[in-house]
Every structure is written in structure tokens, then in C-alpha cells.
Amino acid sequence: MSRLPILGGDNDIWGSVLNDYLSVSLNADGTLKGSAIGATGPTGGQGSTGAIGATGITGATGPTGITGTQGSTGATGAGTTGATGPTGVTGATGPVGATGAGATGATGSQGPTGPGGGATGATGPTGVTGTQGSTGATGAGATGATGPTGTTGTQGATGATGAGTTGATGPGGANGSQGATGSTGPQGATGAGTTDGWNLDTNTWTFVSATTGAGGGLITFKISGIDATNYLIPGTKLCWELSISTPTLNYGVIATSTFSTDTTITLIKNSDYTMGANPAVPKYSYIESPVGFPSEFNWLPTLSGWSVQPSPQIFRWKTMSRMCGVRITMSQGPGSTSGTSNSTTHTATLPVSTISSSTDTWEILGIFQDAGNTTIGMGAIFPFTDTTKIYLNGDNHLPPEPTTGNTAGGSTSTVYCLPYVFYSF
């Protein structure tokens, strides 16, 4: 069963016991479980998209290039005129043999003139081109008709393309006006970075101020002329050296990050580390446990409700996503001394303020000694009344009564562990 850490009995594991206790009402990413918070309100409407810039005018088409000159006509084919067919009536004209290298046959002897002369023989058909057939014997008839004309020579090659060049490209149209810039997209996922879980920040951190003592431990620095709020967000873990000559490592967690000319960063209050005038080698991380990062921090709250404060005192905190968990122990265990109450209200200031709310209350049961009587009390933060304090009550009353219930006078001591939200996404 989940429980609160036991003072003096959970050395080195109280953080694990606390995380197990907190998991009853928190998810692994730090968000509240549905059973611990009211229904979520409706999502706001999507913002309108910026107008698109007008399209530029298209440039005019360039003129067409001059057509090239006509190539010269090819040479006439080399075919020869066919031989004259033989004359005679004696026999029909033999077919023309295939064209070849054979010599022309000898002319037949003149036959005797026939009576009255015979009719002219019909022209024989054109044979397949080949060797010249032998000339038939000259008949007694009239001379045969002229042979057919030889075949036309092959077509001459096409003349070369004219040398005219393509016309120059017309000038481009004027650019359209610039469209409105769209809203910045969400932060991209963190790259792999270095193997120790830290990312080196190439921007220069300039120390602004640091407070000390009760209610102190507040460190502020800036990054001049640059908006770094897109990556240095609340909850981001930081690491830096005091200076180049003093490479002592210091750590912290961002409470607020704002931009106006410069980015101003304020850290959650702690009494363990500080920042010098020239912080060096600045780094940041989003993971749970980068190398060297402490598991928890001490802080010194301002207490009210005691004329003599209990001792010893332990005030520690750690962050889980956008949650901050505080552990308050005063006068518990061997050798401890109870305090003296002088008020019905006992409070301690928080290391970082909770978010403002008109309805939410952060509450948890704890141990409270009221006028010497140990009881189950309630630690509570009332954002609608005060975002900077936790009320340490001796009974488990519910709001709206954050300032009554304790005894003014007598001995007191307290033990509380309470998580609360310190920033919204």
C-alpha cells in the first residue's frame, strides 16, 4: 500500500516512497489522473490561417527564332536507259534478264524483207533487273519500240538544318508581395544531444540577481537580444559553472521564462547553489536524470505561526514535469525539539508559486502535533487565496477554511509531503 515517507526510517529511498505515494493521483508524465481532477473544459477553436500572398505576373513569351534555310536537293540517281528491244516478226522479244555483268549479245543478221512487211511486235515486259539477255535475231519486221526508262535514282540526303538561333527569353514577371508569416510551429523533439543528457547552450547567460536567507534562494539571469523561451521553458533542468576560472558545477530548474527585448529566466528557489557574475558552459536538459543532477533541492521558506520554531527542520523539493513536490519535516525523531505556537494558522512559503485558480485546491494528509497532541492533519495550498504558501493544519478540514483549526499556544511539529502544479503548458 502506498504511504508517506517515514522520517529516520526511509534513508536514501524516501524519494521512491514519495513517487509511489504520488502515483495514486498522478500519471507517469506528472499530469493528474482523471479521478483527481474535474472534467477538462472544451478545447478552444483553431486560430485562422494567415492570408496567402498574391501570385506574381507571368513574364511575356519570347519571339520565335528565324527558320533555317532549305537544304540543297540530292543528286539525281545513276540509273541508265534500258537497251532498245530487237526488231523482227520472227520471234517474240525475249524477256529482259536480270541485270548483271554479261556483255550484250551480237546483233542477228538481217533477215529477208517479208512481203508487205509484218506488223510491229508488241513490247516485251520489263524483266527483273539483272544481266542483259541476248538480243534476239533481227526479224523482217519494223524496228521494235523503245525500251522502258531506267528506274529513278535514290533521293538525295536532306540538307542541314538552318543556322538561325532561338529567340531570347522574355523578362520574368514581377514578384508577388510577401504573404503574412504563419504562427511559430511547436517545439521540435529534442535531439540526441550528448551522452550525459545535457545540451550545450551556445547563447550567453548574463547574471542578473540572487537572493539569500529565509524566503531567498531566487536566481535570475538573462539572454540579451534573443527570444529563448521556445526551448528554455518552465521545468527545464539547468547546469552551469560559476566562471571559466571557477569550474564548480551548479544546478537549478526554470520557474519562469519571459521575453521582452531580452529573455529573462527565473529559477525555483534553492539554498544549495548560486550563480556568479559570469556563468560559464551553460547547459540544459529535458530528461529526468541528466548526469550530475541532484535528486532534490533544499530551500529556506518563511514560516509563520511560531514564537519558537521546531527543530531540526528539513525543507526539500523536486520537480516532475510541471509538478513540484515539497517535503516539510519539523521536529520529528530522536533529539528533536517541538516549537511553540503563537497562532491558529501555520504557514510556510513555497519554493515556487502554484498556478492561480479559482476552484483548485492542493491537499494531502500529514502528521501534525497540535498543543502536544499528535494527530493526522492536512497540508493544503489554496490558489484562490494565496499561490505562495502552504497551510499546515492540525485537522483535516476542507476549504474554504484555510486559516483555522490549530491551537495558539503549546508545542507543535509537522510532517507533510505535497505535490502541486507550478506552470501550465
* Each residue's pLDDT tens digit, 328-380: 988 867 788 888 888 888 889 999 999 887 667 777 777 777 777 777 777 77
Which CA distances in Å does 372 have to 133, 368, 375, 410? 149, 9, 10, 6
Residue listed under C-alpha cell 543478221: 109
Q: Strand 347-349 and strand 206-210: pairing? A: unpaired
Q: State the amino acid at position 398 in one-letter form.
A: L
Q: Are 264 and 208 in contact (CB under 8 A)?
A: yes
Q: Which of 199, 209, 317 is closest to 253 using CA atoms?
A: 317
Instruction: Give this prediction's pTM.
Output: 0.53
Helix (H, G, I), strand (E, B) or coil at 117: coil
What type of residue is 383?
A: P
% pLDDT > 70, the chain: 59
Residue 237: strand, helix, or coil: strand
Return the number of other C-beta atoms located less than 10 Å from residue 91's C-beta: 12
Of 359, 421, 293, nearest to 26 by C-alpha is 421
End-to-end CA distance of the chain: 32
- In 148-197, DSSP assigns E strands to none
Give the largest Cα separation in the chain, rounded. 175
Residues 337/368, Cβ–Cβ less than 8 Å: no
Query: pLDDT value at position 250?
Result: 95
User: Would you give the DSSP letter of residue 278?
Assistant: S
Q: Are 302 and 274 in contact (CB under 8 A)?
A: no
**HSE (side-chain half, CA atoms, 13 Å) at 269:** 21
Strand 262-267, strand 303-304: pairing: unpaired
pLDDT of residue 343: 85
Helix H segments across 289-352?
A: none
Q: What is the DSSP letter of 18?
A: H
Residues of the chain with pLDDT under 50: 77, 88, 91, 93, 96-97, 100, 102, 104-105, 113-114, 117-118, 120-121, 127, 139, 185-193, 399-401, 403
Closest CA to 215 of 347, 407, 355: 347
CA–CA distances in Å: residue 367 to residues 328, 329, 338: 10, 9, 13
